[in-house]
Amino acid sequence: MKERKNAVVTGATKGIGRAVVNKLAQEGMSVLFCARNPQEVAAMQAELLQAYPQQAFYGIVADVSKASDRLMLGETIQNTFERIDLLLNNAGVFLPGGVHTEEEGTLELLTETNLYSAYHLTRACLPLMIPHKAGHIFNLCSTASIEAYVNGGSYGITKFALLGMSKVLREEMKAYDIKVTALLPGATYTASWEGSGLPESRFMKATDVADMLWACYQLSPAAVVEELLMRPLAGDVS
């Protein structure tokens, strides 16, 4: 019997995170996922267990912008799995504004959420990858990781930093045969775009990103997609 593989996904109850968890479940993986809302986490775990009763799903309530929650989540991961095959650092937050106009503390909040969460969760998961000389880490960057936008402020700063972390980590992990992929999606229809007045057809679907993540994961051990840039066919929106 083929050994079931294990995945960890942060920010998992909405948008791209939810689409990825559903895709991984469809492909037979056991998944530990987290989000901040207890009701949403419980509901998603129940849905997954009902749809895939032969697999294991662990819904964890955690706010990864908080160091204490990151520590708890890392310990939970290490106590749950002996091996991790896939990690998606998806949790993130966008607050519009400029460097000279945004509220004091915005950079700190976005850095904790968009960068530190990925850094610390990766450090927690690597001991479950390195001994096996296998694993794939996906970091949800953005087109804002390679292009500055007006009103992007601290969001753009942290997404540039996350891409930088991905590049550094990729070099470090070559010696352990662990892959690192930076996902750079443009405008994707999630809850953050609801009420924008734009038609849903103007955006990529969250399932598009999930499908491409899985395609990257399916490559042979000799190949890695280092950076995957995706945009709506008509171009990004602002």
**pTM of the entire predicted model:** 0.95
| Predicted pLDDT of residue 201 | 85
Which residue, among 2, 26, 21, 36, has the nearest Cα to 138 in the 3D structure? 21
Residues 6+ positions from 203 with CB-CB distance below 8 Å? 187, 188, 189, 193, 232, 237
What is the per-residue pLDDT for 1? 52
* pLDDT tops 70 at residue 195: no
Share of the chain above pLDDT 70, in %: 97
CB 70 within 8 A of CB 64: yes
Which candidate, 118, 140, 139, places its Cα nearest to that of 188? 140
Is the per-residue pLDDT at 219 higher than 70?
yes
Residue 85 has pLDDT above 70, yes or no: yes
Which entry of 58, 116, 155, 189 is annotated as an active-site residue? 155
What is the distance between the alpha carbons of residues 100 and 97, in angstroms, rounded to a whole number?
Answer: 8
Confirm if 150 and 187 have CB atoms less than 8 A apart: no
User: Which one is the CATH code of 6-230: 3.40.50.720, 3.40.640.10, 3.40.50.2300, 3.20.20.150?
Assistant: 3.40.50.720
Which backbone phi and psi does 152 adopt, to 5 degrees? -90, -30
30 within 8 A of 5, measured Cβ to Cβ = yes
Residue 151 predicted with pLDDT over 60: yes
Confidence at residue 161, expressed as pLDDT on a 0 to 100 scale: 96
Q: What φ, ψ does residue 57 adopt, rounded to 5°?
A: -135, 135
Tell me the pLDDT of the chain averaged across its residues: 94
**Gap between the Cα atoms of 94 and 142, Å rounded:** 11
Segment 141-153 shows an average pLDDT of: 91
Nearest residue to 138 (alpha-carbon basis) of 69, 174, 184, 176 = 184
Could you list the beta-strand ranges (E) of the chain.
6-9, 30-35, 57-61, 86-89, 136-140, 179-185, 227-230
Point out the least confidently predicted range of 147-151, 169-173, 214-218.
147-151
Catalytic: 176? no
